[in-house]
Amino acid sequence: MTVLDRLRLDGRVALITGSGRGLGRAMALAFADAGADVVCSARTQAEIDAVADEVRAKGRRAAAVRADVTDSASVERMVERSLAELGRIDILVHNAGGRTAGDGRPLHMISEADWLAGIDANLTSAVSCIRAVIPPMLEQGRGKILTTASGLGLRGNRDLNMYTAAKAGVINLTRSLALSYGRHNIQINTMALGLFPQTEAQATRWGGGRYIPVGRFGTTWEIGPVAVFLCSPAADGINGAVIVQDGGGLAGGVTPFGWAPRIPLPGASA
């Protein structure tokens, strides 16, 4: 077996949440290129239908399963349908999540409902998805689980309360579960991502990437190969790892990217 053979995913089925667009779509297509059959899941049916068609165009089987990962019952149905349509789940990539309403405001201005929504979208959703796929993985005697966190799970950010707390939770959840299930041949890792703008507005707001040590933003296509590696036989010995993909931002310590914005609180002097 060659080195490249160890990166192949032939015969494996990957369930990828949040795969209707952006980074999730890129990972779905990369997994198909590596030989995996793919379950595309997100809240928008038209988007995952389109990605599933792209996977099929690469010669792989695909299913498009709509789900809301903040609803544990919806997650259970997602896993049941995935098993029914493609027969097994060898890989879970939990990619769904993001900033929610209220994030970016000082803590005393955030409602309990906003707090819970942010934690549910980014942390509780990971718990629900992993909990649902563990039984079939235990039954088949192997599995790969990859969560997506953020560099902001490893440092603070002014007024970004729910997102940073939840992503830090995803990182330590991943580490803890790696200790629990590693002996069952289930490897669980996370990617702590940096800045991957999906719109021109994001690119402008984030300073055009000039604060990143490599001098540019991450590009969507760069995510897929890293995810494939972490879910391939080549990474069988990697468990509980936090793989940082941020162009070197966190290498600068507590103030990555060489930039710390000053944003005055309402009613306070700058």
SS3 label, residue 263: coil
SS3 label, residue 187: strand
- Domain for residue 266, yes or no? no
Which amino acid is present at 125? Answer: S
Angle of CA points 15, 18, 20, to nearest 5°: 100
- Domain for residue 268, yes or no? no
Supply φ then ψ for residue 115, to 5 degrees. Answer: -60, -50
DSSP state at residue 122: I
- Domain for residue 263, yes or no? no
> What confidence score (pLDDT) does residue 211 get?
76
- Domain for residue 218, yes or no? yes
How many CA atoms lie less than 13 Å away from 25 in the CB half-sphere? 16
Which amino acid is present at 129? Answer: C
pLDDT tens-digit series, residues 160-194 = 899 999 999 999 999 999 999 999 999 999 999 98
- Domain for residue 43, yes or no? yes
- Domain for residue 257, yes or no? no
> What confidence score (pLDDT) does residue 125 get?
97
Catalytic residue among 31, 115, 163, 206, which? Answer: 163
- Give the CATH number for residue 180: 3.40.50.720
- Identify the domain containing residue 59 by its residue range: 3-252
Q: How confident is the model at residue 17 (pLDDT cuts 50, 70, 90)?
A: very high
CA distance 256 to 250: 5
DSSP state at residue 265: P
- Higher pLDDT: 22 or 256? It is 22
Q: Are 195 and 246 in contact (CB under 8 A)?
A: yes
Does the annotation mark 163 as catalytic? yes
> What confidence score (pLDDT) does residue 198 get?
80
CA distance 140 to 223: 28
Q: Total domain count for the chain? A: 1
